[in-house]
Amino acid sequence: MNYQVTVLGLGHPQTQQHVLIPTPQTQISTEKTMNYTVTVLGLGAMGLPMAARLATQLTVHGFDIAEPRLKLAEEAGITTFSSAREAAEGADALLLAVRNGEQLDDVLFGENGVASVLKPGAVVILGSTVGTDAIPATVARLAEFGVALVDAPLSGGPKRAGEGDLLIVVGAEPQALEAARPVLELLASTLTVVGDKPGDGQALKTVNQLLCGVHIAAAAEAMALADALGLDQAKTLAALEAGAAGSFMLSNRGPRILEAYTEDGAEVLSRLDIFVKDMGIVGKATRAAGLAAPVAAAAEQLYLLGQAQGLAAADDSAVIKVVAPAKRTA
């Protein structure tokens, strides 16, 4: 079975099945990966490590508008192309990471869109969080080219991407899922199949982002309160992590929250404006469902305020500076 895969990174339907498939040390068969070509468009913070991970077992082609990123890709054994359409031409699969539904439409169907150069039978693997609204039209337009959509939003950062340790939730028709599985299994430590149609993955990721966005905002408020009460923030964080108040997001963002007041701030691993987008998707989904979500709405306002205060490009842990612009203790 021969494949080509293109990766573009420019990072509620009712569930019918929920299957966890752990793949910690995935090994795709030689027969399956023979002549399997992956094309990565956008070799940024997530695109390059994903491409490098895929290159451990597949042939990888890549494109980026930044020359330094192309050089890094070449050093990783990735063959580079001069345009997105050239890279995508004839591909069997397209792994797509875009910011929103508008960019999704432009990349696939715009003036220089790549959908028309994909071969019939190809799959587009959507790894971004764009919400459910854009999915039906995308599915319909791709079908005109004989291409299927695999809705597979992912979670994790650059380090986990390079290690094949991403968490990916999938909504896709079974045949399309099988066509995409070689790529998904190389990138994910856990695949969660939540439904058999595109949109199911976006729906679950929306729920996931509600919790993540609220947890980060709550962690920031808690650490700001600790400072206001004269507590040592580092000791407070350690104590909270060991008790019932602990959570993954507290442990992950907590140390970065403590760096928010340093001269350079925390290393940017997840931009604050990503949660402006994602909490906006959450709010739109809850309103469409007629569901009150006041806690999520309050968290969204914190991210919007942070963006308005010039923190859009800062790490999302900088949201603590919205509620506490400066530390009270030394």
pLDDT at residue 38 greater than cutoff 80: no
pTM of the model: 0.85
Domain that holds residue 159: 4-197
Q: End of a domain among 152, 175, 197?
A: 197
- Write down the pLDDT at residue 62: 81
CATH number at residue 50: 3.40.50.720
pLDDT at residue 68 greater than cutoff 60: yes
Phi, psi angles (nearest 5°) of residue 287: -65, -40
Tell whether 246 is covered by a domain: yes
Catalytic residue among 32, 71, 205, 277: 205
Q: Do the beta carbons of residue 126 and residue 151 sit within 8 Å?
A: yes
Those residues with Cβ within 8 angstroms of residue 195's Cβ, 6 or more apart along the chain or in another chain: 13, 14, 15, 16, 17, 171, 201, 203
Same domain assignment for residues 67 and 174: yes
Q: What is the dihedral of CA 24, 25, 31, 34, to 10 degrees?
A: 90
Please work out, in degrees rounded to the nearest 5, the angle formed at the alpha carbon of residue 145 by the alpha carbons of 142 and 146: 90
pLDDT at residue 253 greater than cutoff 50: yes
Q: What is the CA radius of gyration of the chain?
A: 20
Give dist(CA 75, CA 69) in Å, integer: 10
Biggest distance spanned by C-alpha atoms of the chain: 64
Same domain assignment for residues 230 and 298: yes
Q: End of a domain among 181, 197, 213?
A: 197
pLDDT at residue 328 greater than cutoff 70: yes
229: its two tokens: 């009460």
- Mean pLDDT on 100-117: 93
Q: Which of 107-121, 218-232, 308-322 has the lowest mean pLDDT?
A: 107-121
CATH number at residue 263: 1.10.1040.10
Q: What is the dihedral of CA 142, 108, 97, 87, to 10 degrees?
A: 110
Tell whether 124 is covered by a domain: yes
Annotated catalytic residue 32: no
Q: Do the beta carbons of residue 34 and residue 150 sit within 8 Å?
A: no
- Write down the pLDDT at residue 303: 98
